[in-house]
Amino acid sequence: MPRKQKTSSLKSHEGGVDLIDQFRKPLLAHPAFGEQAMPPGKRVWLEEFLARSIERALLKIGRGSRPTREDFDHLWHSFAGSLTGDGVVKAICNIAQLVHDPDGKEESRGWAGNARSVAELFLDAKDVRQILEIVLETTDPAQCASYPGWFGYDSSVGHYRAIAARLLPYYRRDAEWLAPLLDDQKAEVRHIAALRLAFDWPALADDTVLSRVIEAAADADWIWSWSDHFNNLRTGREQALLALGKFGARAKHSATLLQAEIALTERKVLELENAFGNQLLSGSVAENNLMWWEVDRDRHWINELRAVLRSMQE
């Protein structure tokens, strides 16, 4: 007699659906998720998403030492609070950013660690990808304001679209979605798409991509990676200058951008070295170490820029 195949579905066990609804129903009863607070069809999506997420988490309990039921209760309280407080889209975007690109403060305060635990327990990569794609497709602020349970009460459309563009490569491995973003209405989204194509898909980096990278290199007010910005003070503009090296001789006409940056950084290094010499006798050890770190970082940056210039001449 053939052995009966086991199933991993919680719904197949007696009381499984009731156990899922024990957590799901109170959340769905929250005013934030009423029919009027959600876009058409998204209330049903949320019901199914919560069922998948809760089942995913409950099935992990007891498999090894962690997670425990106490872990589940703690993380569910955190996750549910984010969904009701921030709206579904904003909450999942924030969790994904804390998982993949936290800054030092978010790491040290435990926010990133908590987000990783929530994501590991409750979130499927396909659901996160779908949310990020929805964010990129949403360009009308009025649409967001109409559905606070979905988009959040204070969502900035442009801000979260930039987050989605920055994070979607972690969940989607093709380049098809990037090309349309090169003409996006938000500059930061254009910048991110161009740099992704330049670094990850150089065969697709045509003259349009090059022009967008040059545009990004001239824009001082955007961030490529929050983690890198916190650790190295590097901005998106600096990352764009490095991306010019992916184009070789085709980017030769942009060499003046690199030369200007090298000259500016060399002056900064000289000023820091002079200040370092004056402060060495009076400054604290911490102040001297910070100044020396800045000098070392800037010298390394000059070498990186010179390498990009050489690539344009080959």
Domain ranges for the chain, please list them: 22-168
CA gap 248, 310 in Å, rounded: 9
Average pLDDT value for residue range 254-271: 94
Residue 14 has pLDDT above 50, yes or no: no
Instruction: Give CB contacts under 8 A, 24+ apart, made by 33-38.
Output: 33/84, 33/149, 34/149, 37/147, 37/148, 37/149, 37/150, 38/147, 38/149, 38/150
* pLDDT tens-digit readout, 171-201: 999 999 999 999 999 999 999 999 999 999 9
Contact 241, 198 (CB under 8 A): no
Q: pTM for this structure?
A: 0.86
Report residue 14: phi and psi, to 5°: -60, 125
Mean residue pLDDT of the chain comes to 89
* 74 DSSP assignment: H
Average pLDDT value for residue range 141-156: 83
CA gap 211, 213 in Å, rounded: 5
CA gap 77, 75 in Å, rounded: 5
Residue with tokens 């490095």: 242
Alpha-helical (H) ranges within the chain are: 16-28, 42-60, 69-86, 88-100, 104-108, 111-122, 125-137, 141-146, 148-151, 157-167, 187-200, 207-217, 226-232, 236-243, 255-279, 285-313
With cut-offs at 50, 70 and 90, classify the pLDDT of residue 2.
very low
- Element spanning 224, H or E: none
Residue 125, C-beta contacts closer than 8 angstroms, at least 6 positions apart: 171
